[in-house]
Structure 1
Amino acid sequence: MRNAPLSVLALGTLALSLSACTVSVRPNLSLQVQGGNLITNLRPDRGEGGTYAVGESVRLSVSTRSAGYLTLVALQSNGYASVLARNVYVNAGATTFPRAQDGQVYTVAPPRGIQRVRAIFTRVRPTTDLVVSGVFDGTRWNTVTTAYVSPYPQADRDVQETFFYIR
């Protein structure tokens, strides 16, 4: 019984250290990170899971560890996908989309529900354009992304996803 206080102390220390952990679950549970975390941050201006009304503008912040080429693809709640930015050169650090020099605004439009945005980053200029058209389910969405980045070494590519809600 002499060891009982030591084990209680060890369990207490473990509980305190675990209380500082944060677990995030994203809606795309089947997404496998494609690289070495070259994308360090991807979020809408109201934060991941933020809510926007139809007609409001949304901005997306993307941070990368190195310079490279970024493609942003949106997947609507009805499964329709569209490219927001294609093979845009970004420096290391934070970039906000739409960029001022592009003269665009991302205006939220129906359908209402969850809007997923996937960032696809490669250190080298892609030799092909990501082509998305039609309606995608989770499997096809992942297959298209994987096929697009597969020619590049894993150390030179990354794929991350965020989401927000349209009301």
Structure 2
Amino acid sequence: MRFLKTTALIAGTLALGLSACTVSVRPNLTLQASGGNLITRVTPDRGEGSTYGVGETVRISVGTRTPGYVTLVALQSNGYANVLVRNEYIAAGTTTFPRGQIFTVAPPRGVQRVRAIFTRVRPTTDLVVSGYYDGTRWNTFTEAYVNPYPQADRDVQETFFYIR
């Protein structure tokens, strides 16, 4: 009988502990289009997976091993994508965006993905993002944009945060 009570107590404790857990699914952080390992980090100012309220400001830091050109593209929780920074030259090290402006968090609420696309050489085309993207189309779009550049001269990384 004592064994049964102890087992029930342990099972109850585990159930209570597990009910308080939150499971987070991280978006794709390294992509097939990535090849050069040129980006060392991409993070929002409060850290990856952090939470921002509508109307708050967010800054994105991008660390790179070499100088080059970065484009930041945001994918909202509803699938709509837009360019935050386009073909901006950065030195090696850490650069924080935006420069000279602010990014204000706006609806829709949910997970906000930010993809950093880096090339050592100036891109020959401007990245034009218009419309809604699912995960497959989002990856295909990025790959098509960076494929003209040698793998050693490009990198693609992604981070995320939540909008409440």
Task: Assess same fold via TM > 0.5.
Answer: yes
TM-score by length of 1: 0.81
Superposed displacement of residue 104, structure 1: 1.4
Question: CA separation in 2, counterparts of 1:30 and 1:105?
Answer: 27
In structure 2, the partner of 1:152 is 149
Opposite residue 122 of structure 2, the aligned amino acid is R
Question: CA separation in 1, counterparts of 2:123 and 2:29?
Answer: 26
- Does structure 2 conserve the Cα–Cα contact (< 8 Å) formed by 1:33 and 1:160? no
Paired residues, number = 141
TM-score by length of 2: 0.82
For structure 1, which runs of at least 5 residues remain unmatched after alignment? 1-24
- Does structure 1 conserve the Cα–Cα contact (< 8 Å) formed by 2:77 and 2:108? yes
Residues 33 and 149 of structure 1, relative CA distance in 2, 3 Å threshold: closer
In structure 2, the partner of 1:124 is 121
In structure 2, the partner of 1:11 is none
Residues 127 and 29 of structure 1, relative CA distance in 2, 3 Å threshold: closer
In structure 2, the partner of 1:70 is 70
Superposed displacement of residue 38, structure 1: 0.2
Residues 33 and 148 of structure 1, relative CA distance in 2, 3 Å threshold: closer
In structure 2, the partner of 1:133 is 130
For structure 2, which runs of at least 5 residues remain unmatched after alignment? 1-24
Superposed displacement of residue 92, structure 1: 0.3
**RMSD of aligned residue pairs (Cα, Å):** 1.6
Superposed displacement of residue 29, structure 1: 7.1
In structure 1, the partner of 2:104 is 107
In structure 2, the partner of 1:18 is none
Report the secondary structure of 1:145's partner residue: helix
Report the secondary structure of 1:111's partner residue: coil
Q: After TM superposition, where is structure 1 displaced by more than 4 Å over at least 4 residues in a row?
A: none
Q: In the TM superposition, what are the counterparts of 1:1-167 in structure 2 within 5 Å?
A: 26-28=26-28, 31-32=31-32, 34-99=34-99, 103-167=100-164
